[in-house]
């Protein structure tokens, strides 16, 4: 009898975890401690059919993004600017937005405004890490308030730190989590690319400019 009761309770918990009520609000955690809207945003990044790769070398950062799945509408011109995912933020900062193009453009424009304001106020370029953290703060706020949804995009921030003179590479996901990387991949075929990058960079984290480009290109094929 106790076994049946235990199984029944377990079944109810599983049903509750899948209940739509946990999907409807960005401010509600499931019994497992998950925010489903954030999970959906992460997973939907792959729906655009884009795979992006970023590799940090000794004196440079290389980013590559390419469509690895044909669009649903064969008449779309994917070379048109609305489908671009790589944005110049400043002379020393760039952002690769993998996911929904509209969200990527909105985030890039906000990043440009913030970086310009930083330079005007302090007199030097905004460091890549600081921009990534600012983007993370923006994304995290959208996981706390009703009437908002998470950005359906993973932002890859690359650039040269003006003070250190070194290249930097960070990602910011829909939850606002900011991570630094030696190399990374985001999008439809990210796992295959990451496995390649792990092997290619094993014991060699200081790549030359040429090696950085070669590893980045190879990870896409």
Q: What is the mean pLDDT of residues 31-57?
A: 87
Give the pLDDT confidence score for residue 154 in this predicted structure: 97
pLDDT tens, 47-101? 888 999 999 999 999 999 988 777 777 787 766 555 578 999 999 999 999 999 9
Residue 153 CB neighbours (<10 A) = 30
> Does residue 29 have a pLDDT over 80?
no
Ranking 40-49, 100-109, 154-163 by mean pLDDT, the lowest is 40-49
168: Cβ–Cβ under 8 A, 6 or more apart, which residues? 56, 61, 127, 128, 129, 157, 158, 159, 160, 161, 180
Average pLDDT, the chain: 86
Write down the pTM of the prediction. Answer: 0.84
Q: Decide yes or no: CATH 3.30.1370.100 for domain 26-219.
A: no
Is residue 68 within 8 Å of 49, Cβ to Cβ? yes
Give the pLDDT confidence score for residue 2 in this predicted structure: 44
Give the pLDDT confidence score for residue 78 in this predicted structure: 66
Domain residue ranges in the chain: 26-219
CA atoms of 170 and 168, how far apart (whole Å): 7
């Amino acid at each position: 009898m106790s076994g049946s009761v235990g199984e029944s309770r377990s079944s109810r918990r599983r049903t509750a975890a899948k209940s739509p009520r946990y999907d409807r609000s960005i401010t509600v955690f499931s019994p497992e401690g998950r925010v489903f809207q954030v999970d959906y945003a992460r997973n939907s990044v792959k729906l655009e059919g884009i795979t992006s790769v970023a590799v940090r070398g000794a004196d440079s950062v290389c980013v590559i993004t390419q469509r690895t799945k044909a669009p649903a509408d064969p008449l779309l011109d994917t070379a048109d600017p609305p489908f671009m995912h790589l944005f110049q933020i400043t002379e020393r900062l760039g952002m690769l937005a993998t996911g929904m193009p509209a969200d990527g453009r909105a985030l890039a424009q906000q990043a440009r405004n913030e970086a310009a304001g930083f330079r005007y106020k302090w007199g030097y370029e905004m460091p890549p890490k600081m921009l990534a953290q600012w983007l993370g703060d923006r994304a995290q706020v959208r996981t706390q308030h009703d009437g908002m949804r998470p950005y359906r995009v993973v932002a890859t921030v690359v650039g040269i730190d003006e003070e250190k003179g070194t290249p930097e590479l960070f990602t910011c996901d829909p939850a606002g989590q900011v991570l630094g990387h030696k190399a990374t991949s985001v999008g439809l075929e990210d796992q295959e690319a990451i496995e390649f990058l792990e092997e290619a960079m094993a014991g060699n984290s200081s790549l030359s400019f040429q090696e950085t480009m070669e590893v980045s290109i190879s990870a896409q094929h």
